[in-house]
Chain A
């Protein structure tokens, strides 16, 4: 059973870079069947798709975040990562990593709360 686990700082200062990693266990990020995805949910709001990455390194980004966003994959460590620069309070959210099987998002991490505050 594939499991995903987010890790990273729970508090980030405004204007700094938010960095999160998603460790994949029970499966491989090198599988050509899936896209590895980041999704977030601000407090009291709905889900927002951030972007995804294929094992080859090919990425797709939400146009509203693209200028600040980098998603990368490390096949040797079997994990993928998110970097969001120049954060503001609007970036405060629960961040989920997930596996996109193209027909559906079929595995989710438990989510990690990231608060942007000085």
Chain B
């Protein structure tokens, strides 16, 4: 089994750009797609990035994703931060038949 490690929390000001990392403990980050989910308090999660860097319809292009094989990590980049982006963000990936979520990152926009 592998783990996905995220920072516990990040904070940034409105209008700025923030990057949330997700590091895979074993196996290549490039071998299986990474998804990112946003969860606001009291609501079910929604997808903001799938297949490493694809946005579902309705997700603004302020959200982008990337992977870096050298650090074996994925990143969620949110630019032009808005207060509505304040939420918990989870990365998610899989290998064979098992799926794993990262521990989640609390984004504070202040």
Q: Which residue of A lies closest to B44 (CB)?
A: A108
CB of A103 within 8 A of CB of B51, answer yes
CB distance from A104 to the nearest CB of B (A): 4
CB of A110 within 8 A of CB of B90, answer no
CB of B45 within 8 A of CB of A49, answer no
Interface size range of chain A in the complex: 20 to 34
CB of A49 within 8 A of CB of B44, answer no
Q: Which residue of A lies closest to B39 (CB)?
A: A47
B residues engaging A (CB < 8 A)?
1, 33, 35, 37, 44-47, 50-51, 54, 56, 90, 92, 97-104
- The answer for the CA separation of A90 and B20 in the assembled complex, in Å, is 28
Known contacts being A106-B56, A108-B45, is A47 close to B98, with CB within 8 Å? Answer: no
CB of A109 within 8 A of CB of B44, answer yes
CB of A110 within 8 A of CB of B44, answer yes
CB neighbours of A105 from chain B (8 A): 35, 37, 45, 47, 92
CB of A46 within 8 A of CB of B101, answer yes
CB neighbours of B46 from chain A (8 A): 108
- The answer for the CA separation of A111 and B46 in the assembled complex, in Å, is 13
Q: Which residue of B lies closest to A101 (CB)?
A: B50
CB distance from A12 to the nearest CB of B (A): 22
Known contacts being A47-B45, A103-B33, A106-B47, is A60 close to B100, with CB within 8 Å? Answer: no
Given A49-B101, A108-B44: 11 more A-B contacts, CB < 8 Å = A46-B104, A47-B37, A49-B100, A63-B1, A96-B44, A103-B35, A104-B47, A105-B45, A106-B47, A108-B45, A111-B44
